[in-house]
Structure 1
């Protein structure tokens, strides 16, 4: 059973998927920092607010003695917009990567093929001619 599991775990596709998953997680961190550190402040300059602070308050909260807001119920649409921008960036980059991979595959397929051998009819003619001799 251990041997079967080792064979399963070391299959090329499974290892490729694992590597892609780890790279995707790291790429997601890069995109999140890009969006949070560069895109959000620039958009915040335009709208005079930070995306992550945008919300629609359904029920206002109260300040307690420590100055903390409690009991507020709000729709945090700014956080959703930030995550949507993250998704669009990741989806676009993945699209570009897949497009580049497909373009490279087409070039490999376009390599010249060696000339085909004689057809079946030509072989039969050659056999007939040899039998006549």
Structure 2
């Protein structure tokens, strides 16, 4: 344990000592300092590891999160995110992301994909009449 106060020998935990040290560092440096060292760390890390490494850890994190929370949790955060985005974005934003999504889907799946989903949609709408 670390010695907190030399006058009365009050002892604190490592966690408390770390928190005090963190507060001192936070008070000593400004936000720009932390952004710069974060940027440097990110650059070094991306040089050290491949994209596949980051994909793997992203998938592991996704699986862990998926196992930890239920469907209601994801619906709730999705709804919050959607509401926040809709308040902060305009019509042009949605047109642009729709266009990008359509182009990406077209490049990935091709013309046959649209023919198939069109036929399926047509069958479903005819059976609902």
Relative to the length of structure 2, the TM-score reads: 0.25
Relative to the length of structure 1, the TM-score reads: 0.24
Q: Which has the higher contact order (CA 8 A, sep 6+)?
A: 1
Q: Per residue, is there more helix in 1 or in 2? A: 2
